Amino acid sequence: MICCAAASGLLATTNALALLRLLPMSNRDKDIEILALRHQLLVLQRQVGKPAFTDTDRAIPAGLLHHLPMDKLCQLLLLVRPDTIMRWHRNLLQRRHAATCAPKRRGRPPSVPSIRALILRLARENTSWGYRRIHGVLAARVSRSPRPPCGRKPAP
């Protein structure tokens, strides 16, 4: 699955290249190219069954066409329905939003280096101890550590 940042970067690059390619062309040349592309699209629609789109294939038309009103989208000759284009755009925005709001770190938090060093030292010094005994020693040390003063006397 393509990353959202990569998809938006690809979309921006594609748009920039398309714009650079179209700038030196006259309106007549652009119209001829559009007619030729529409004809190729009609031929492909007659011959091929249901097309399989990748995430990039969905991102490009969604990014280009979502600005158009629905009545204009309905007039375009597309491989998919206008509702599909709008759904692809919503999914693209959801993935982008999910990528920015996702938790940065997954799984168990890393252990403190000083505790890790203490565990390794105890294991080296006491080779007959298992992990349960080392855990017990560490738990006893933590429970015996003095509490910071809170203004009350300790209970008897």
Count how many Cα atoms sit within 13 Å of the Cα of residue 30 in the half-sphere of its side chain: 10
Contact (CB, 8 A) for 108 and 70: no
Segment 70-79, tens digit of pLDDT = 888 888 878 8
Same domain flag for 16 and 47: yes
Assigned domain for 107 exists: no
Q: Is the dihedral of CA 22, 26, 30, 36 positive or negative?
A: negative
pLDDT at 107: 80
pLDDT of 1 over the 50 cut: no
Residue whose pair of structure tokens reads 């997954």 in the numeric block: 106
Residue 44, pLDDT score: 78
Residues 68 and 140 in one domain: no
Range of the domain at 45: 4-101
> Is the residue at 137 inside a domain?
yes
Do 66 and 18 belong together in one domain?
yes
In a domain, 151, yes or no: no
